[in-house]
Amino acid sequence: MASTELNTIIKNGLWSNNPALVQVLGLCPLLAVTGTVVNALGLGLATTLVLLSSNIAVSLIRHFVADSVRLPAFVMIIASLVTCAELLMQAFTYELYEILGIFIPLIVTNCAILGRADAFACKNPVLPAATDGLMMGLGFTAVLLVLGALREVIGQGTLFTGMNLIFGDMALTWEIQVFTDYPNFLFAILPPGAFVGMGLIIALKNIIDQRIETNRAKEETQKTVGNKRVRVTGNVA
């Protein structure tokens, strides 16, 4: 497997085909649970785990499943993996599992997972499929984290509160009080705030992409000027 291809897969997952920012898939959990960083991280990791393992599994069975029944097969795989993730969270991060509630089993309906299984994993060998799953998951988690941090700071004036739910007691001191004596800004905590925050993040990504595009265009035009002889005398007909 050529490494350039893997690089493209990584870049696609994290940035140019990011499941949350570009494909805009899996919005339901994205908007519902990103009230705090810890919730976002919890759901992000669970989704990444499911995405990674479902891509590997789908890639492994791709030659043995008839095309006409592939979707039920994918859904079965994803559903069992989500159950695994759910049981794991129940075992190790029970409080977080209680907080995230219905959104853990709902990972199964996250279109990003079925989308990657159908669009990528069932057409590619295991290594690229695994990379794709991991990178898509990390890209999704990154967006969840940014949105979670944004909403936590604006909504409650804190950052990293309750991280001990994932990282154990050593994370008890991680909480940062960004503003003291902060009146809770309910709008940011409620789902409408998530829509606005999501819109702003997508807008920011578009701005960055535009900047990169204009810079590249500028460089190209400069190159062409240097390579050509410029006509300095006479009239152009």
User: Residues touching other proteins: how many (CB under 8 A)?
Assistant: 7
Residue in the block written with tokens 């996250």: 110
Neighbours of 198 (CB within 10 A): 22
Cβ-based burial of 165 (10 A; exposed 0-12, middle 13-18, buried ≥19) = buried
Give 167 or 182: the residue with its C-beta nearer to other proteins: 182
Give 167 or 187: the residue with its C-beta nearer to other proteins: 187
Q: How far is the CB of 175 from other proteins (least distance, A)?
A: 22
Residues in contact with other proteins, shown as a per-residue x/- string from 126 to 145 under the rule CB under 8 A: --------------------
Tokens, residue 205: 């990504």
Which ranges of the chain would DSSP assign to H, the alpha helix?
Answer: 3-11, 27-32, 37-60, 70-92, 94-100, 111-119, 126-156, 164-167, 186-189, 191-227
Query: Is 158 an interacting residue with respect to other proteins (CB under 8 A)?
Result: no
Give 21 or 46: the residue with its C-beta nearer to other proteins: 21
Q: How far is the CB of 31 from other proteins (least distance, A)?
A: 16
Q: How far is the CB of 186 from other proteins (least distance, A)?
A: 4
Tokens, residue 104: 């853990």
Give 154 or 163: the residue with its C-beta nearer to other proteins: 154
Q: How far is the CB of 21 from other proteins (least distance, A)?
A: 18
Give 6 or 196: the residue with its C-beta nearer to other proteins: 196
Give 58 or 198: the residue with its C-beta nearer to other proteins: 198
Interface positions, 74-103, toward other proteins (CB under 8 A) = none
Q: How far is the CB of 185 from other proteins (least distance, A)?
A: 5
Residue in the block written with tokens 């898509």: 136
Give 174 or 187: the residue with its C-beta nearer to other proteins: 187
Interface positions, 177-236, toward other proteins (CB under 8 A) = 183, 185-188, 190, 196
Q: How far is the CB of 190 from other proteins (least distance, A)?
A: 7
Of 125, 112, 50, nearest in space to 87 by CA: 50
Helix H, strand E, coil C: the string for 152-202 is: HHHHHCEECCCCHHHHCHHHHHHCEECCCCCCCCHHHHCHHHHHHHHHHHH
Say how far apart CA 36 and CA 48 lie, in whole Å. Answer: 18
The contact set with other proteins (CB under 8 A) reads: 183, 185-188, 190, 196
